[in-house]
């Protein structure tokens, strides 16, 4: 019996009919652009994150890009982030003409090391923003990161694309910096039936700027205050997401239960390092990622036994061809390099059962036996 890395059919089978009805209703109304579903989703998500505003956009990447623009990041500025992330995080920094300053991550959380952030600020002038990435659903250690950013008058833009619902010291990600960016890509913890994204923030000016930029710089019908973009959240996607929104907490709870089963079953197996949760974090396990020095043969062994697995991420951004000549690799990036060589994502989705976890664990144990 095989266990897929993720199962988009099983994950939302419980609400598929409800989604089809909601989509049919939008089609019946022919209300496709910035319709009532977009506004309802924005209201729900702002409230969910305990923020004042949420602005629906066309993807997580658009959320990040428009956030950098709205935060006032200019060509030639520098932006601190982690190189251990999906390319979208770094891509948008280059796209606004700024220079990514990549810093090392903490080995326990696999997210930006606050001390490395502080060191980057003292080494490089003109850092105007920091982009912490809540990787795999684990919140960054935000207090020391925002403290150093404030000291240097830099903006904090959370990349929360993998962390809908995660909490840091009892606060939801999305309410921890100047603004936060979420993705509704189909595989994310809250995923649509296509692309989608959201910027969440409590700063009225940033929210207004993003709402304008996503819609051609428009202030009212055929009045354009600035040059903007077409980066709106699709109303059909909003209808899908609105149905799913009421399940997000239950699905995240399932993910935590699955993670706990994994940790019970895999404790002390081979040289495996399991994810660890700091006392201040409530993660949402977008991915369940273990480490092994024998990662590649382990992955081959699992795949041969029908266990889906993947490496997120094998090449850090500072070593990607698109970035190499255009970024600053700040300080030693040894933890990132080791993670790239050792991380392995095991199957994780809310519909997994304890027996699925057992099958994966048996296959892992048989490798180390
Ligand atoms: C998925 C993802 C993005 C980009 O989101 P899209 O909706 O695919 O544009 C950005 N950052 C991280 C960390 C992601 O995982």
291 token code pair: 């480490």
User: Nearest C-alpha to atom 5 of ligand 1 is from which residue?
Assistant: 60
pTM of the model: 0.98
Q: What CATH number does residue 154 fall under?
A: 3.40.640.10
b/e 193-225 (16+ beta carbons within 10 angstroms → b): bebbbbbbbbbeebbebbbbbbbbebeeeeeee
3-state secondary structure of 81: strand
**Residue 1 falls within a domain, yes or no?**
no
CA 329 to ligand 1 centroid distance, Å: 22
Q: How many domains does the chain have?
A: 2
**Residue 2 falls within a domain, yes or no?**
no
Q: What CATH number does residue 337 fall under?
A: 3.90.1150.10
Q: Which domain holds residue 283?
A: 248-368
Q: Please write the tens of the pLDDT for every residue from 299-353.
A: 999 999 999 999 999 999 999 999 999 999 998 999 999 999 999 999 999 999 9
User: Which residue ranges have their beta carbon within 6 Å of ligand 1?
Assistant: 59-61, 85-86, 88-89, 133, 159, 161-162, 183, 185, 195, 197
Atom number of ligand 1 nearest to Cα 286: 15
Q: Please write the tens of the pLDDT for every residue from 151-209.
A: 999 999 999 999 999 999 999 999 999 999 999 999 999 999 999 999 999 999 999 99
Pocket test for ligand 1, best of 183, 195, 198, 199 (most atoms within 8 A of CB): 183
CA distance 84 to 316: 5
Domain boundary among 205, 220, 245: 245
Q: Closest Cα to residue 116, out of 102, 131, 126? A: 102
pLDDT at 222: 87
CA 340 to ligand 1 centroid distance, Å: 18
Q: Please write the tens of the pLDDT for every residue from 219-230.
A: 888 889 899 999
User: Are both 77 and 204 inside the same structural domain?
Assistant: yes
223 token code pair: 């009045």
The answer to whether 133 and 112 are in contact (CB under 8 A) is yes
């Amino acid at each position: 019996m095989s266990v897929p890395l993720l199962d988009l059919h099983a994950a939302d089978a419980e609400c598929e009919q409800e989604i089809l009805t909601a989509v049919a209703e939008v089609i019946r109304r022919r209300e496709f652009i910035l319709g009532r579903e977009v506004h309802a989703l924005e209201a729900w998500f702002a409230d969910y994150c305990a923020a004042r505003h949420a602005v629906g956009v066309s993807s997580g990447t658009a959320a990040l890009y428009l956030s950098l623009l709205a935060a006032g990041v200019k060509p030639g500025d520098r932006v601190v982030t982690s190189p251990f992330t999906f390319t979208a995080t770094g891509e948008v920094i280059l796209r606004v003409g700024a220079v990514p300053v990549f810093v090392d991550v903490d080995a326990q959380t696999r997210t930006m090391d606050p001390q490395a952030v502080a060191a980057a600020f003292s080494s490089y002038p003109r850092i105007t923003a920091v982009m912490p990435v809540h990787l795999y659903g684990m919140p960054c250690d935000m207090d020391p990161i925002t403290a150093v950013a404030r000291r240097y008058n830099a903006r904090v833009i959370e990349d929360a694309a993998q962390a809908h619902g995660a909490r840091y010291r009892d606060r939801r990600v999305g309410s921890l910096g100047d603004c936060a960016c979420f993705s509704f890509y189909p595989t994310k913890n809250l995923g649509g039936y296509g692309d989608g994204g959201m910027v969440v923030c409590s700063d009225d000016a940033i929210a207004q700027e993003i709402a304008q930029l996503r819609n051609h710089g428009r202030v009212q019908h055929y009045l354009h205050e600035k040059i903007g973009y077409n980066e709106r959240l699709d109303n059909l996607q909003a209808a899908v997401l609105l149905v799913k929104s009421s399940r997000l907490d239950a699905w995240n709870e399932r993910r935590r239960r699955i993670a706990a089963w994994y940790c019970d079953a895999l404790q002390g197996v081979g040289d495996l390092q399991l994810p660890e949760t700091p006392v201040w974090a409530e993660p949402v396990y977008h991915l369940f990622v273990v480490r092994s020095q024998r990662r590649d043969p382990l992955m081959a062994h699992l795949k041969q036994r029908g266990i889906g697995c993947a490496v997120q991420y094998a090449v850090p951004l500072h070593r990607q061809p698109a970035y190499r000549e255009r970024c600053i690799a700040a300080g030693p990036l040894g933890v990132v390099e080791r993670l790239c060589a050792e991380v392995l994502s095991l199957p994780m989705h809310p519909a997994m059962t304890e027996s699925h976890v057992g099958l994966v664990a048996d296959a892992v144990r048989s490798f180390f036996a």
